Amino acid sequence: MLLANSIRPLRSGRALLIAPGLLFLCVAFVLPIALLLSRSLFDPAFTLDHYRRLLSVPAYAQILVYSFQLAVATTALTVILGYPYAYVMTLASPAWRAFLTAVVLLPFWTNILVRCYSWMLILQTKGLLNTALMDWLGVSSQPLPLMYNSVGVAIGMVHYLLPPMVLILYSVMKSIDVGLVRAAEGLGASPARAFWRVFVPLSMPGLRAATVLIFILALGFFVTPALLGGRSDITVAMLIDAQFTEIVNWGFGSALAGVLLAITVFGLLLYYSLLGQRPARA
């Protein structure tokens, strides 16, 4: 009885601490999202036509498919580049680890618009890369199409998403006992076999969680595809923006936003479920 009486003030104190933040989130996030989603069902009266239109028009399905393909390709490239980098960070000395961390954090200090315009200077027809390939190295006789297409969009998105991928993977890898890999090598396994059979399985929970989170971020990209993509490189986020600002069809734009939000919520639930997994013990 005494214990129960002492727990009640503690719980009430915690409730008071989270109340301001919870109230702010409800007013600034939940309420606007609810009002936005209501426009997809009540514009002007109750209707499901906006969702029927989304399912019946092939062009919208193609945009969804392209957005998924772009998100999958970007996520795969981010994993390929980020996993070795994070692994090297776990093995590096403190000085080198600090340097590698600074290189990863450097893009966070630069605005996304500045980064996109920088890539435009590098990738355009007379940009730095094509100038180097044609005039300096003589490798190519004509400029490579690196911008206003999916290639430029993927490069810009990978540049933006690589730091969070590396940081998530490193946060998991640094908790792995590297001595287990050395023990496997001492028992006769080659370094490559010890890495694939010991280290990689231990890092899989973090890799799965990072992959899901990066995929969610890539699926909702807007600025990079809008600046570096071409006319055919339209993503779901760009379509939503066009419905709200150009066509002024709030009902259909809200339906698109609702579908994207549902996919994002499902991905976040999957992310947290994968983040909580632990590798099975041998």
Q: What is the distance between the alpha carbons of residues 78 and 72, in angstroms, rounded to a whole number?
A: 10
Render pLDDT for 66-76 as a digit per residue (tens, 0 to 9): 998 999 999 99
Q: What is the distance between the alpha carbons of residues 254 and 41, in angstroms, rounded to a whole number?
A: 9
> Which residues lie below 8 Å from residue 70, measured CB to CB, with a gap of 6+?
150, 153, 154, 157, 218, 221, 225, 233, 235
Q: Is 127 helix (H, G, I), strand (E, B) or coil?
A: coil
Q: In the prediction, which pLDDT does 282 show?
A: 40
Please check whether residue 184 is in contact with residue 197, taking contact to mean a CB–CB distance below 8 angstroms: yes
In sequence order, the β-bridge partners of residue 46 are 42
Residue with the bigger pLDDT between 256 and 78: it is: 78
Residues, the chain, total? 282
Q: What is the distance between the alpha carbons of residues 174 and 163, in angstroms, rounded to a whole number?
A: 16
Please report which confidence band the pLDDT of residue 2 belongs to, taking 50, 70 and 90 as the band edges.
very low
Tell the residue number behind the tokens 């028992």, with chain if given. Answer: 187
Q: What is the distance between the alpha carbons of residues 61 and 50, in angstroms, rounded to a whole number?
A: 14
Looking at residues 34-42, what average pLDDT do you find?
83
Domains annotated for the chain, with CATH where assigned, are: 1-41 (no CATH), 48-275 (1.10.3720.10)
Render pLDDT for 169-226 as a digit per residue (tens, 0 to 9): 998 888 888 888 888 888 888 888 888 888 888 888 889 888 988 988 898 888 888 8
Question: Residue 42 phi/psi, 5° resolution?
Answer: -130, 70
Please report which confidence band the pLDDT of residue 83 belongs to, taking 50, 70 and 90 as the band edges.
very high
Render pLDDT for 43-63 as a digit per residue (tens, 0 to 9): 777 888 888 888 888 888 888
Would the pLDDT of 80 be above 90?
yes
Burial (CB count <10 Å: 0-12, 13-18, 19+), residue 111 = exposed
Q: Helix H segments across the chain?
A: 2-25, 31-41, 49-56, 58-91, 94-105, 112-123, 128-131, 150-173, 179-186, 191-194, 200-219, 223-228, 236-245, 250-275
Q: Cβ–Cβ contacts within 10 Å for residue 81, how many?
A: 16
Q: In the prediction, which pLDDT does 262 show?
A: 85
Q: In the prediction, which pLDDT does 124 show?
A: 86
Q: In the prediction, which pLDDT does 85 show?
A: 94
Q: In the prediction, which pLDDT does 166 show?
A: 93
Tell the residue number behind the tokens 């028009």, with chain if given. Answer: 57
> Which residues lie below 8 Å from residue 254, measured CB to CB, with a gap of 6+?
36, 37, 38, 39, 40, 43, 50
**pTM of the predicted protein model:** 0.81
* Gyration radius from the chain CA atoms: 24
End-to-end Cα spacing for the chain: 45
Residue with the bigger pLDDT between 3 and 233: it is: 233
The mean pLDDT value of the chain amounts to 83
Tell the residue number behind the tokens 């590096």, with chain if given. Answer: 92
Please check whether residue 247 is in contact with residue 238, taking contact to mean a CB–CB distance below 8 angstroms: no
Q: In the prediction, which pLDDT does 216 show?
A: 86
> Which two three-digit tokens encode residue 171?
């946060």
